[in-house]
Amino acid sequence: MLQFSKFFAVRAMLAILTLVMVSFIVFTLMELVPGDCAERYVAFKNSQGSVITPEDIQIERVRLGLDQPYVQRWGSWIINAFQGEYGNSCILRVDIAQLLGQKFWLSLGLCLSALLLAYLIAIPVGIIAATSKNAVLNNSLRLVSYLGLALPNFLLALMIMLFSTVYFGDSLTGLFSKEYRDAAWSTDRVMDFLGHAWLPIFILGWSATAFAIQTVRALMSDEIGKLYVTAAAARGVSGRRLLMRYPARHALSPIINSVGFDLNRIFNELPIVALILTLTEAGSLLIEALARSNDQQLAGAIIFMLTASIVALNFVTDIILALTDPRIRRSIVG
Amino acid sequence: MTNITNTASSTNQQLKEAYFTASQGQLIWQRFKRNKSALAGAWVLIILILSGIFSPFLTPYDATIAGRDKGYLNGAPQVPSFCDDNGCSIRPFVYTYERSRSFKTNFRWVSEEKVELEDRRYLTFFSRGMEYTFLGIKFDRHLFGVDKGMVHIFGTDSTGKDIYSRTLTAINTSMAVGTIGVLIAFFLALVIGGVSGYYGGKIDSVLQMVTDTVRTIPNIPLFMALAAFIPDTWSSEERFFFISLVLGLIGWTTLARRIRTHLLSERNQEYVLAAQLCGASPSHVIRRHLLPSFTSYIIVDLVISFPYMILSETALSFIGLGLKDPVNSLGVMLQNVTSADVLLNYQWYFIPVIFFIVLVLAFVFVGDGLRDAADPYADTNK
């Protein structure tokens, strides 16, 4: 137990340290964008007709705290970020936490469902592929997983959307029907959401599934050839019992380990899929912030939150691994 | 009888000797050759890359606005044929085309091939056409052309640019972006992974933290954030280099990790100690002693990371943060298919998509084959 709490503490520390470094990278990126919030705000005022002098910009800078040294601003940004406060977007002039709020959780929900879908498909299919000697099955699975890479999700999304628009007259886009878009959460709204969400979940999960099948298959076929499996078979264990009790258990821990990277992969696709399917969630806000309005505050907050959820997931999988595998508990950092 | 067994055993001996004295690269090549799908992928890849490189010669027209065909906007592909009602000819030919609109086309302007049996336009080979510079020398010969008017075997886009010419040029651009990106990533990986693996200890821990952090941030959003720096005023060349730079700046982590792992296991070998005792500097030891021991694996890793670079470039260009329309890259070509109008009326816009998928697939096949071939335990496992 002591060992485990030590492991837990070290991992938690590492996770927080990673987040601090991520925040540094993100914050630096935000700073590097030409022009700062004060200039933008004042430029906006200028466009409203008031006359602006350099002093006004300076006053605005002081008001926003932009005159303080870099490290200090980073420090206050990250302290706020850990509390879920990201300040105001300087283009939209609304509180970012409020703007993102629900949208971010929607996105996270979509991505986690896609991840779940990927593993629900990949684990059984991967095990079957590793154990079966059927060449046709193996080769076709291989081709599917190659296509998972070569046919990027955005292309897939585009094709499905275009085909359904042309042949079914329904574009399958968006996350809500019109009447539910701004409604409060209710059973009907949830049902409506689920009716729309299956397509983005499927598309986001597409290449993750292909990758996961590859991983599961490779790990299983490595384990199946090992001596302990032969020994178990010699003792008379066979069929599904043999697979589940011996190689599958060993193949499990690297798979749990890779879940974080799969979430990373899904996040990669999120903004582009969101753009095509016109989803109204964090992914499309990110594109909006980066490609159109150059809103670095908003973009930084989104990237930070995405990364934070990956770090959190990595932390959780580490803990799960430690719970299931005593060898990992002992190694503390490794 | 004894003679025969003797020669048999001696060839066997020779084979064994060849096996044990073969270099890393030769061994990998031996194993790679056995993998049929990877070999097929390699051929496809070579053909695609060559057609990209020689695109100015292989394509009849300039891929930029200079090569546009004003009379054939959004025109369907013209398929060269050998026979029609007027009989056959050895040389393939196409017909003329015209722009029209009528009730039948919902009053939309449509460019169509017009079958006029009398007006055959024969394809010419090694014909003179627009001038282009290749390797610093001016040429005006193209693989094929047509004796009257213009020929568009993949059709044209909304400004009348030849899609066939654009596709081949796009392969070239995307490969160039990928190559520069991979080279930058390679350099960074070599320095960071090399230092981290060679020194180990605290330096290693710190560098690993950095690597892991960069790995944790989702790539595409990070690409997007970096690409958002590009001011609108930049020329397409500047954009091109910046995008390649961005791809390289983020893509180094996996390779750096591999180099580090390898160096960590190699650095305690006796030959390294010997070199150090002779007074060799760390950079000399890394460059001349450690890296050559796994050059082939590095090459394999580079090939594997290539399709990711191309995919990232397409993703960036696709959302409008990467390369933009006057430049022909696969991402730009993909961006052009994003409207229902294209799917309904101009399906030939999808031809570059096929090239894109085939290119990435070929890379994946080759990369996978190389990875299997580079695995030193591949033989013992089977």
Q: Tell me what pLDDT residue B368 has.
A: 79
At B1, the pLDDT band (50, 70, 90 cuts) reads very low
Identify the band that residue B119 occupies on the pLDDT scale cut at 50, 70 and 90: low
- Percent of chain B surpassing pLDDT 70: 79
Hey, are the CB atoms on B315 and A272 less than 8 Å from each other?
yes
Tell me the chain A residues in contact with residue B357 when contact means C-beta distances shorter than 8 Å.
Answer: 150-151
Which of B218, B228, B311 is opposite residue A290, by nearest beta carbon? Answer: B228
Q: Which of A62-66, B62-66, B102-106, B263-267 has the highest mean pLDDT?
A: B263-267
Residue range A77-126, pLDDT digits in tens: 788 777 777 776 666 667 777 777 777 888 888 888 888 998 888 888 88
- pLDDT confidence band for A293 (50 / 70 / 90): low
pLDDT at A176: 63
Distance CA B152, CA B160 (A): 10
Collect all residues of chain B within an 8 Å Cβ-Cβ radius of residue A302: 221
DSSP readout, B225-289?
Answer: HHHTT--TT--HHHHHHHHHHHHHHHTTHHHHHHHHHHHHHHTTSHHHHHHHHTT--HHHIIIII
**Pairwise CA distance, residues A219 & A129, whole Å:** 11
Q: Do B307 and A310 touch (CB under 8 A)?
A: no
pLDDT per position as a tens digit, B239-275: 888 888 888 888 888 888 888 887 877 777 888 888 8
Distance between CA B68 and CA B130 in Å, rounded?
Answer: 12
Quick check: B110 pLDDT over 70? no
B231/A269 Cβ within 8 A:
no
Helix or strand (DSSP H, E) at B377: none
Chain B hits for A260, Cβ within 8 Å: 216
This model of the complex carries an ipTM of: 0.73
pLDDT in tens, B348-379: 778 888 888 888 888 888 887 887 777 665 55
Could you give the CA distance from residue B337 to residue A158 in angstroms, rounded to a whole number? Answer: 9
* Residue with more model confidence, B266 or B338: B266
Instruction: Give whichever of A43-52, A217-226, A314-323, B86-95 has the largest mean pLDDT.
Output: A314-323
- pLDDT value at position B380? 47
User: Among residues A40, A31, A266, A154, which one has the least CA distance to residue B320?
Assistant: A154
d(CA A141, CA A210): 9
> pLDDT averaged over chain B?
77
Query: Mutate which of B205, B211, B212, B220 to disrupt the A interface (most A C-beta within 10 Å)?
Result: B220
Give the type of residue at B190.
L
Q: What is the DSSP string of A204-245?
A: HHHHHHHHHHHHHHHHHHHHHTSHHHHHHHHTT--HHHHHHH
Contacts of A267 in chain B (CB under 8 A): 218, 220-221
What is the rounded average pLDDT of the residues A221-245?
Answer: 80
Which residue(s) pair with B141 in the sheet? Answer: B128
CA separation for the pair A275, A283 (Å, rounded)? 8
Q: Residue A169: what pLDDT?
A: 65
Report the chain A residue with the minimal C-alpha distance to residue B353.
A155
Adjacency order of strands within the sheet including B81-84: B81-84, B87-94, B121-134, B137-146
pTM of the model: 0.78
**Spatial CA neighbour of A192 closest among A178, A204, A209, A203:** A178
Q: What is the DSSP letter of B98?
A: E
Share of chain A above pLDDT 70, in %: 76
**What is the reported pLDDT for B381?**
43
Closest approach of B336 to chain A, Cα-based (Å)? 12
CA–CA–CA angle B332, B334, B338 (5° rounding): 110
A264 to chain B, any CB pair closer than 8 A? The answer is yes
Residue B106 pLDDT greater than 70, yes or no: no
Does the beta-carbon distance from B224 to A32 stay under 8 Å?
Answer: no
Inter-chain contacts counted by CB atoms under 8 A, chains A and B: 117
d(CA B139, CA B135): 10
Run of H or E including A62: helix A54-64
What percent of chain B has a predicted confidence (pLDDT) above 90?
0
* DSSP code per residue over B156-179: B-TT--BHHHHHHHHHHHHHHHHH
Res. A184: pLDDT tops 50: yes
Q: DSSP code of B103? A: G
Q: What is the DSSP letter of B91?
A: E
Cα–Cα distance for residue pair B297/B266, rounded to 1 Å: 14
The percent of chain A in helix, strand and coil, each rounded to the nearest 5, is: 80, 0, 20
Question: What is the reported pLDDT for A173?
Answer: 63
Indicate the residue of A17, A267, A276 with minimum beta-carbon distance to B221.
Answer: A267
State residue A334's pLDDT score. 42
Chain B residues within 8 A of A158 when measuring between CB atoms: 337-338
Q: Chain A: residue nearest B214 by CA? A: A22
Mark yes or no for CB contact A32/B218 under 8 Å. no
User: Do B111 and B76 contact (CB within 8 A), yes or no?
Assistant: yes
Judged against a pLDDT cut of 60, whether residue B69 lies above it is answered with: yes
Task: Give the best-scoring range by mean pLDDT among A157-161, A165-169, B214-218.
Answer: B214-218
Query: Is pLDDT larger for residue A216 or for residue B68?
Result: A216
- CA nearest neighbour of A40 among A322, A296, A315, A327: A296
